[in-house]
Structure 1
Amino acid sequence: MTAMAGGFSGGGLTLDLPFTGAWLTQNSPARRVPSHGTDLLGERYAIDFVGVDTDRRTGGRTSWGTLAGTEPAERFYSFGRPILAPCPGVVVDRLDGEPDHEARRSPLALVPYLLGQRARLQQGIAAVAGNFVILEVVPSRVYVALVHLKQSSLLVGIGERVRAGQPLAECGNSGNSSQPHVHVQAMDSRDLSVARGIPIAFRNFSEQPTRRSAWTVREIGIPGEGAVVTPGIFPDSNH
């Protein structure tokens, strides 16, 4: 992919990571495309990030729900973390009324939840995306969506121009989300129902592919599946 730093070229879009701290990469287009197994809703090159602690854990204390049921979204490190604008742009759409539901990390709870994805899609975009912000990358007419945001946390309104790094909302567990995380995608339309995905890459981040790996600084790239990433230079990075 040939992506123009700070904007769009024929190959895709280069973004900043939309957060601070350490996050685990899931459903990365570095592993497969479509990254989420579908081209619907502009998801072809989408990527997910889940907040973690220094031991790569996504959530705090465990209970019976960890093994066989659901858990409060507040138990997970992502929940409530600030989500930042990954590029300059204009807010062209937003939704902030969907509830944050219980989280699931138990395989016993995940299976029936995954089987219900088709039904949620039939309910409409809100049931899948939850709360979201869509930015237009002016003047390219490319759009960036940040999805599964926390209810009542959005800080920006439609028509507002934002700068890269500006707080937009907080990470939540709304929509089709098994545990709190932020879903990021670029697309050719502001309308999720007809949008087609556009390739994305990220700039200036540190990446640790596995727990035992050294941290490496990447000037531009797509985080690998299962890698932990943090913006900028991690103190133990090789550079």
Structure 2
Amino acid sequence: MVRATGSVRSPVLLALPFDGRWLVQNSPARRVPSHGVDVLGQRYAIDFTGVDERGRTASQWGWGTLLSTEPPERFVGFGRPILAPVDGVVVSVHDGEPDHEARRSQLALVAYVAGQAGRLREGPAAVAGNHVIMRDRASQAFVALVHLQAGSLRVRPGDEVAVGEQLARCGNSGNSTQPHVHVQAMDSDDLRVARGLPIAFTAYRQWDPRGRGIRDVAVGIPDERAIVAPVPE
């Protein structure tokens, strides 16, 4: 286990870890702790779910959408490249967790939520699924990208990476109801003891969830239910 040296007072600045449009969920702009808990360094975590040009997370519907589960391949974000949000070094990776069936059905979600406590008891890998943890060169904080696609990781501990470099692909591993990427900054590379750190994103375009138009943001935290994408260069 490694702790970040000193105290990180300012938000850890991140680039969006993807191209294209993504829906913002569980944003710390809405509440803190953003996911309702402080465990596993999640206090300021944020989720992004891939969407198409019409804002849909999936273009297909079926009986599983209403009553059961669906294959993760049905979702727009599944398999999309996940990119390094900071310049730094990879400190740990985990692969081998399966990409399980997705759940939009309320019936399927009830049973899944009931099993969350059991997954937490199994340890970080059962919750985070396949993931990469990097050490940010600028802040010395640790940044985790979580719920990655099985077998898609391209990096190993010790690798130097730059902003925009592909690390893996978006998956549905761990404690995930549909394919998305979960991003968080922490003071430790050990999820069992890590404390979450505030984050902010740079150079993103936001489609307002209340229909108030589009704006480009230099530094900020995306709003809950907004759609975001990197500002075109």
Percent identical among aligned pairs is 59
In the alignment, structure 1 segments of 5+ residues that lack a partner are: 1-7, 235-239
Quick one: distance in 2 between partners of 1:33 and 1:172?
A: 25
User: Match for residue 3 of structure 2?
Assistant: none
Quick one: distance in 2 between partners of 1:128 and 1:109?
A: 18
Q: Which amino acid aligns with 2:116?
A: Q
Quick one: distance in 1 between partners of 2:232 and 2:90?
A: 29
Quick one: distance in 2 between partners of 1:233 and 1:155?
A: 25
Report 1:76-225 matches (<5 A).
Answer: 76-138=75-137, 140-210=139-209, 212-225=211-224
Report 1:60-75 matches (<5 A).
Answer: 60-75=59-74
Please state how far the C-alpha of 1:10 moved relative to its aligned partner: 1.6
More divergent stretch after superposition (133-142 vs 86-95): 133-142
In the alignment, structure 2 segments of 5+ residues that lack a partner are: 1-6
User: Match for residue 226 of structure 2?
Assistant: 227
Quick one: distance in 2 between partners of 1:92 and 1:153?
A: 17
Flag as ranges the 4+ runs of structure 1 deviating above 3 A. Answer: none
Cα RMSD (Å): 1.4
Deviations 1:17-53 (A, max 9, x none): 0000000000000000000000000000000000001
Q: Please report the TM-score for the alignment, with normalisation by the length of structure 1.
A: 0.92
Quick one: distance in 2 between partners of 1:83 and 1:73?
A: 16
Quick one: distance in 1 between partners of 2:8 and 2:121?
A: 34
